Structure 1
């Protein structure tokens, strides 16, 4: 493990990522890259360049993508994998992670999250503040689980889907890739087509 961490993205989500990294106390130095050149520091940490500069830091730093947009995060994460970047997993010390849980590289697990046993979470996911993921779930790559989302047991969420704040997913439900589930929505049966879903229970809009 390298003792330096470089976070791509110094605004909203990137700041939360940096806060987790600071609380983990694993890295001697943490810095940002951001394409807004007017940002010189964030969270008291220096912005040392733009995303195009990442290649000059690969030997020295572990690299983490701190960008909330799923598609943008995927694009940068996949580029980092092609150049053999060292990509960590960030888990807030106040998260609860059960036994036999597998979390992919580039995923951030925020404060107050509970992930129960037998769950698999893919690469570069966001498991946001206070969300709960029960037993035997499968969260595919580049998914965003928003704050306060509750997933019951044996739920599958497909790649690049985004579950809005406070949404609820019933047990044994599959959500296909590329779905957006609106804030406060309730999903009680499988979603088989990509799209935007809202309501209690959800309907496609």
Structure 2
């Protein structure tokens, strides 16, 4: 049964009312988002993929996993593969051939050039840029405004121009 009402509530509310409505998870923290999504999947809650009406998917070659949210003004180009539980936030751009692994978060106004790979649970900060053909491993934080010009293979936090590991 579908409802026209918006419901915001605790995690267990969706489980106790499964089947009454569709669910998205609007939590920025990848670890928490993953925990909630896995709990919902085990309980049979219907997770949906949400693309804002002003989000742009360039063509039918874009693949988007379950529970992913594409916000207003985000642009996703051809051949992009987006995993489960990903957030592509307002005015972010993801160019051709990129792969965003599960629970990645592409923050407001960030830009991924062609053929970029972003690992699981990686956070790309507001206004960050990742250059062509660069891979970023799992569980990485890219600071706001950073410019990533080469592969990042080690977990940690990276900031600056060019991006360097700070912790």
TM-score by length of 2: 0.95
Partner of 2:138: 177
Q: Distance in 1 between matches of 2:95 and 2:154?
A: 24
Q: Please say if 1:138 is aligned against 2:99.
A: yes
Structure 2 unpaired stretches of 5+: none
User: Does the residue aligned with 1:55 lie in a helix, a strand or coil?
Assistant: helix
Aligned partner (choices 75, 79, 82) of residue 121 of structure 1: 82
Q: Distance in 1 between matches of 2:77 and 2:145?
A: 22
How far 1:197 moved relative to its partner?
Answer: 0.3
Q: Does 1:92 align with 2:52?
A: yes
Structure 2 partner of 1:29 = 5
Query: Residue 64 of structure 1: which of 15, 24, 29 is its match?
Result: 24
Give the match for residue 53 of structure 1: 13
Query: What is the deviation of 1:59?
Result: 2.1
Distance 2:113 2:120 in 1: 18
Distance 1:63 1:202 in 2: 36
Greater share of helix residues, 1 or 2?
1
Q: Please give the per-residue CA displacement for 1:47-96, whole angstroms capped at 9, x wherever unaligned.
A: xxx32232221121212211111110110001111122211111111111
Which range is displaced more, 135-144 or 63-72?
63-72
SS in 2 for 1:180: strand
Partner of 1:3: 2
- Look up the match of 1:78: 38
Most deviating of 152-161 and 85-94? 85-94
Instruction: Tell me what 1:168 maps to.
Output: 129
- Of 144, 149, 167 in structure 2, the residue corresponding to residue 188 of structure 1 is 149
Equivalenced residues, count: 165
Tell me the TM-score normalized by structure 1. Answer: 0.78
Structure 1 residue matching 2:157: 3-state secondary structure: strand
